[in-house]
Every structure is written in structure tokens, then in C-alpha cells.
Amino acid sequence: MKATARDYRALVLVPQCPPTATWAARRWNDTNHALPDKPTEPLRLLVELIEQLKTRYPIDPARVHVMGLSMGGYGTWELIERYPDRFAAAMPVCGGGDESQAKRLTGLPIWAFHGSADRLVPPIRSRGMIEAIRKAGGQPKYTQYEGVGHNSWDRAFAEPELLKWLFAQRRGQGNP
């Protein structure tokens, strides 16, 4: 059965980062990085926008989810590292975060995706985050697509259980 808008009612925000900026300040092919003291300006403005939207529309604050791919995958990791209590779940695709922040993410449902043949963002970026969160006591999900390059989002968004999993998450309920 194909999912429809009737099955999953949502307000979807699809922000675009300015072409001369990034959601997260790092080089994509690094194998690790540390969370900077301050977010990038686009990330800061995105957080402000989310908060404004919650005052203007009937948004359940316990049902705000975040997902992003590539640069947005890095942005997703940074958002949840900075504000783990603001989101119900996260779905980073081919990104990476600061593994030293893993303890902050143990109660947040996360499903990360990466292609094993990604030459732009090393798959160790997603695997490292997942391993660090598990070591800290969390239960994130991880799907790696063997032989898939950077565009692992095609497979991720086609996962049969993705929407069911995402919409089942509520802030405060912890990892499933």
C-alpha cells in the first residue's frame, strides 16, 4: 500500500542553504570533527524559523522531526547535537557529526543511512556516530546500502517502513 497525505498529515519545511554557506562548518571528506562553539548563520536562522512556525501553525512540539541529506545530513547531526530535546526523531542521510556528543543523543530515535561506496562523505561518518551512540547506551537504527554511492537518499526515502517509523516517534518517548 502506498502512503498518502491522508495517512501522514504534516507541515513539511524544506529549507535551502544559501549557495555560499553551509549548515555545518566542516569539510565533507574529513573522517571526524568537533562541534563548533556556535552554529553557522544558516543553521541558527533555521532554528529561529522552526520556533516561529510553531507559534503560527498548529504544530505539535512533541512531533517535530528533522532529516537531511549530504550537507543536510551534517546539519541534521549538528541540530540534534545542539538541541537534542527539541526533536522527536532524526534521519541523517550520508552525513556525520561529533562523536563526543553521542551521550546527548542516547534518548533520541535516530535512523541514519549511508552508501558503502560514498566517495564524497566517508561512510565512517555515519557508522562512527551510530557506534558512539550505541556505546553511550542509545539504540539508533543504521542502514548502509552496499555498493551505493553518495545518493543513498534514493534508497533511504524508498524504505517501506520509513514513514511509519518516523511518524510513530514523539519527543520524550525515547529510542524504540
DSSP sequence for 62-79: GG-EEEEETHHHHHHHHH
d(CA 79, CA 40): 11
Q: Which residues pair with 91 in a beta bridge?
A: 67
Domain holding 116, by residue range, is: 63-168
Is 81 among the domain residues? yes
Residue 42 above 80 pLDDT?
yes
Residue 138 above 90 pLDDT?
yes
Residues with Cβ within 8 Å of residue 17, at least 6 apart in sequence = 23, 42, 71, 72, 75
Is 139 among the domain residues? yes
Is 152 among the domain residues? yes
Is 77 among the domain residues? yes
Backbone angles phi, psi at 43, to 5 degrees: -70, -40
Is 45 among the domain residues? no
The answer to whether the CB of 69 falls within 8 A of the CB of 153 is: yes
Residue 29 above 80 pLDDT?
no
At residue 3, the pLDDT reads 64
Is 173 among the domain residues? no
Residue 4 above 80 pLDDT?
no
At residue 169, the pLDDT reads 96
The answer to whether the CB of 35 falls within 8 A of the CB of 78 is: yes
At residue 14, the pLDDT reads 93
| Structural domain count of the chain | 1
Q: What is the pTM of this model?
A: 0.92
| Rg for the chain, CA atoms, rounded | 15
Q: Which residue has the higher pLDDT, 46 or 1?
A: 46
pLDDT band at 107 (very low <50, low <70, confident <90, very high): very high
CATH code: domain of residue 106? 3.40.50.1820
Residue 43 above 70 pLDDT?
yes
Identity of the amino acid at 32: N
The answer to whether the CB of 106 falls within 8 A of the CB of 141 is: no
Distances (CA, A) of 152 to 2, 74, 83, 101, 118: 21, 14, 26, 24, 8
Is 56 among the domain residues? no
pLDDT band at 174 (very low <50, low <70, confident <90, very high): low
Model confidence pLDDT, tens digit, residues 6-28: 778 888 999 999 999 988 887 77
Is 146 among the domain residues? yes
